[in-house]
């Protein structure tokens, strides 16, 4: 499973990308607003840090507006993926973008039926929002399983990009469910490395090593 960072924090991105484990980046209008910086500038900087797909979301709600904004975003760098909302207009734009060779990510997907439509429209990625379904008492992860089944039934190559991922457990469950990618905040990425027994075990190994008084080099 590919791991994307869901962030507009370029400093955090640079630090975490140095692990070699960051496959791409996603952004959304809320994250752009949080950065307090001009969107085109932030996206260009992110694209210079990661070679993989970088999702940049349109703000227009009409097809013409989405096309104009999407073309401008796609012109920033070859790895820009234009993110469009899961609406009728959004999916019309997705089809037209596909004809132009512009990659798309359909966001705010909450049902397998919506994902099916996005795939039929030619989306490169579809983003089911796990955490926000959990927030309303539904089982967000079940949606990943359902979309996986639908896409496999019909051999769609649209990638399932698990979004609204809040915990390391979400990441693990998304991988088990067969998501192609998960986009995660930097803090969740950091959490993926950790386990109390790893820390405890390492502490003991270091103590024992110091007691043994040996060196390797
Ligand atoms: O980028 C979309 C998604 O990951 C947002 O997550 O936590 O705001 O529901 P969240």
163 lines ligand 1 (CB under 6 A): yes
Please state whether 195 falls in left (phi above 0), alpha (psi between -120 and 50) or beta. Answer: beta
57 lines ligand 1 (CB under 6 A): no
Residue 148: name the closest of 177, 108, 125 by CA. Answer: 177
43 close to 54: Cβ distance less than 8 angstroms: yes
119 close to 158: Cβ distance less than 8 angstroms: yes
Give the closest residue (by CA) to ligand 1 atom 7: 164
Three-state secondary structure call for residue 126: strand
> Given ligand 1 and candidates 28, 29, 189, which is best to mutate, with the most ligand atoms within 8 Å of its CB?
28
132 lines ligand 1 (CB under 6 A): yes
Instruction: List the catalytic residues.
Output: 83
Tokens of 19: 């692990």
164 lines ligand 1 (CB under 6 A): yes
Q: Any idea what DSSP says for residue 166?
A: -
Q: Any idea what DSSP says for residue 122?
A: T
pLDDT in tens, the chain (217 residues): 999 999 999 999 999 999 999 999 999 999 999 999 999 999 999 999 999 999 999 999 999 999 999 999 999 999 999 999 999 999 999 999 999 999 999 999 999 999 999 999 999 999 999 999 999 999 999 999 999 999 999 999 999 999 999 999 999 999 999 999 999 999 999 999 999 999 999 999 999 999 999 999 9
Q: How many CB atoms neighbour CB 152 within 10 A?
A: 10
How far is it, in rounded angstroms, from Cα 147 to Cα 44? 32
Give the closest residue (by CA) to ligand 1 atom 3: 164
Domain boundaries, the chain: 2-212
Alpha helices in the chain (DSSP H): 10-17, 29-35, 39-49, 63-74, 88-100, 112-121, 130-135, 140-153, 168-176, 186-192, 196-212
- Determine the pLDDT at residue 87: 98
Using the atom order of ligand 1, give the atom closest to the CA of residue 131: 9
Task: Please tell me the CATH code under which domain 2-212 is placed.
Answer: 3.20.20.70
Write the pLDDT tens digit of every residue in 13-61. 999 999 999 999 999 999 999 999 999 999 999 999 999 999 999 999 9
Angle, vertex CA 175, rays to CA 171 and CA 180, nearest 5: 105
- Determine the pLDDT at residue 38: 98
């Amino acid at each position: 499973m590919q791991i994307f960072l869901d962030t507009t924090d370029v400093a955090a991105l640079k630090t975490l990308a140095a692990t070699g484990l960051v496959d791409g980046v996603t952004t959304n209008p809320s994250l752009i607003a949080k950065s307090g910086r001009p969107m085109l500038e932030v996206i260009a900087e992110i694209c210079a840090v990661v070679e993989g797909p970088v999702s940049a979301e349109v703000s227009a709600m009409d097809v013409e507006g989405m096309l104009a904004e999407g073309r401008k975003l796609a012109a920033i760098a070859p790895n820009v993926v234009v993110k469009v909302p899961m609406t009728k207009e959004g999916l019309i734009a997705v089809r037209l973008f596909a004809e132009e060779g512009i990659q798309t990510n359909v966001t705010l997907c909450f049902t397998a039926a919506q994902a099916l439509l996005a795939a039929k429209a030619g989306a490169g990625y579809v983003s089911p929002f796990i955490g926000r379904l959990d927030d309303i008492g539904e089982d967000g992860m079940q949606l990943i399983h359902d979309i996986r089944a639908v896409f496999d039934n019909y051999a769609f190559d649209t990638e399932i990009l698990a979004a609204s991922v809040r915990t390391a457990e979400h990441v693990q469950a998304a991988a088990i469910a067969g998501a192609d990618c998960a986009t995660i905040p930097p803090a969740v990425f950091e959490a993926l490395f950790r386990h109390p027994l790893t820390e405890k075990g390492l502490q003991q190994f270091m103590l024992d090593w110091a007691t043994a008084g040996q060196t390797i080099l």
